[in-house]
Amino acid sequence: MDSIRIRGGPPLMGAIEISGAKNAALPLLAACLLTGETLTLSNLPHLADIATMAHLLAELGVDVSMNGDACNGGYAGRVFGLTAARAGETTAPYELVRRMRASVLVLGPLLARNGYARVSLPGGCAIGTRPIDLHLKALAQLGADIELEEGYITARAPNGLKGAHVLFPMVTVGGTENLMMAAALAEGETVLANAAREPEVADLARCLIAMGAHIEGAGTDTLHITGVKCLRGADYTVVSDRIEAGTYAVAAALTGGDLQLIGGRMDLIEALADTLVNAGAEVTETADGVRVSGAQGPLRGVDVMTEPFPGFPTDMQAQLMVLMAVAKGASMITETIFENRFMHVPELCRMGANINVHGASAIIRGVEELSGAQVMATDLRASVSLVLAGLAAKGETVINRVYHLDRGYERLEEKLSACGAVIERIKGK
Ligand code: EPZ
């Protein structure tokens, strides 16, 4: 397994190209199952999770043509042509689903197009049990017969799905995406109330509309979907990754640097931008993205609670904690979305951070400086928080198990070293 070695200290200066969003690309890839025509997706990031989803789609009989890289400056956004012409395999196997929970996003489209789907239950993951009960209950409301057997979901709708009024008891991004794709081909009107408002959900809605779906309310908490008989192919460009942009924004503030986030979208990171400004950093919108520079004086502690969009994103919680670890004064971060998303805390404490977890909240008391150490990555966002800590820490940090990072950050070392970071990947044995 590879590891990453960082020598902390240099302020990050320069420009970073923000890639297409992983969490938009994954449902967009699954959407190809809804039509027999070709869906062409551009600006796909080079990530392990994207390759895993492409592998799963190929297993399901989709013809996946990776049309090389449509260069857009320094980093290429990949272009995939996806054609699910024949009603192929309708089983998403455990060995693929366990590697990436987002594989569950093929359930809605497979069921809607074929009237049948068999998808492995994803099982838990490091940050929580992450059940999909809300996906299944809502699909049942659209008339699907759902059975759980031998760790698999078998969903049947031999006479097709029928529109229904679905109220999600809690906001679920994946649940909203699965149901939006299923409802697009259901008979009649579906309302999704208390729907997720994440930009990646809105991106999926826009792509489905380009494919001929009738969807209103994208980006709001109520989606109105009128089913159609069939959907057509489309050409669609994946939205910019707000979490990647947010991560590098924190890196600029943390190292007292000045970064241009090219392709970053201020409208997608407002809650984070407000938090960084309250902490003393400068965040400004520019013609080609967002510019973030470190605080002139010491960083200030800020209290934050993670919430569904447009609130502060849970996927930025670990990264913000690193900034708070070296801010002046105390701060409290409350994680309301997942039940176990503080696994970066013990590793940060080994680097000298002063953090105490009390249930869903972490109290952080700022210290002068972190010190480099050997640390262990546990999940995607915890891993990148350790990279951020290494960039600011005194001395050398070595992060093990960086395969977690490769799931969500495209060319991380390249992008950071181009801005002055002393960072290198050490190939595993
Ligand atoms: C998506 O996961 C993202 N992943 C996550 O990003 C992100 O953290 C999460 O949304 C919240 O924003 C992708 O888009 C691929 P949820 P998802 O359904 O859809 C509970 C990253 O780091 N829940 O909104 O799985 C669930 O347990 C990843 O990029 C149920 O109880 O998240 C969680 O506590 C991590 N039953 C909460 O809802 C259900 O049926 C939110 O989950 C569904 C969800």
pLDDT tens for residues 276-311? Answer: 999 999 999 999 999 999 977 789 999 999 999 999
pLDDT of residue 123: 74
C-beta of 49 in contact with ligand 1 (< 6 A): no
Nearest Cα to Cα of residue 250 among 98, 349, 385: 385
Q: What spacing in Å lies between the alpha carbon of 338 and ligand 1's midpoint?
A: 8
Q: Closest ligand 1 atom to the C-alpha of 129?
A: 27
Rounded distance between C-alpha atoms, residue 22 and residue 241, angstroms:
7
pLDDT of residue 282: 97
Q: How confident is the model at residue 33 (pLDDT cuts 50, 70, 90)?
A: very high
Q: Whose CA is nearest to atom 28 of ligand 1?
A: 315
CA 272 vs CA 179, 281, 371: distances in Å: 28, 11, 26
Helices 317-325 & 270-278 angle (0-180, nearest 10)? 10
Q: How confident is the model at residue 40 (pLDDT cuts 50, 70, 90)?
A: very high
Q: What is the mean pLDDT of residues 340-366?
A: 97
Q: How confident is the model at residue 346 (pLDDT cuts 50, 70, 90)?
A: very high
pLDDT of residue 69: 53
Tell me the average pLDDT of the chain.
94
Q: Closest ligand 1 atom to the C-alpha of 198?
A: 12
Rounded distance between C-alpha atoms, residue 351 and residue 366, angstroms:
13
C-beta of 23 in contact with ligand 1 (< 6 A): yes
CB count, 10 Å around CB of 296? 9
Rounded distance between C-alpha atoms, residue 228 and residue 243, angstroms:
33
Q: Is the peptide bond before 310 cis (omega within 30 degrees of 0)?
A: yes
Q: Which residues are designated catalytic? A: 125
Strands 330-334 and 304-305: parallel
Q: Closest ligand 1 atom to the C-alpha of 136?
A: 40
Q: Above 90 in pLDDT, residue 429? A: no
Q: Whose CA is nearest to atom 7 of ligand 1?
A: 315
Q: Above 90 in pLDDT, residue 85? A: no
pTM of the model: 0.96
pLDDT of residue 86: 67
Q: What spacing in Å lies between the alpha carbon of 251 and ligand 1's midpoint?
A: 25
Rounded distance between C-alpha atoms, residue 386 and residue 377, angstroms:
7
In contact, 318 and 381? CB cutoff 8 Å? yes
Q: Whose CA is nearest to atom 39 of ligand 1?
A: 132
Q: What is the mean pLDDT of residues 40-49?
A: 94
Tell me the pLDDT tens digit for each residue of 219-275.
Answer: 999 999 999 999 999 999 999 999 999 999 999 999 999 999 999 999 999 999 999
Which residues of 71-144 form beta strands (DSSP E)?
Answer: 77-83, 91-92, 116-120
Q: Above 80 in pLDDT, residue 43? A: yes
Q: What spacing in Å lies between the alpha carbon of 152 and ligand 1's midpoint?
A: 20
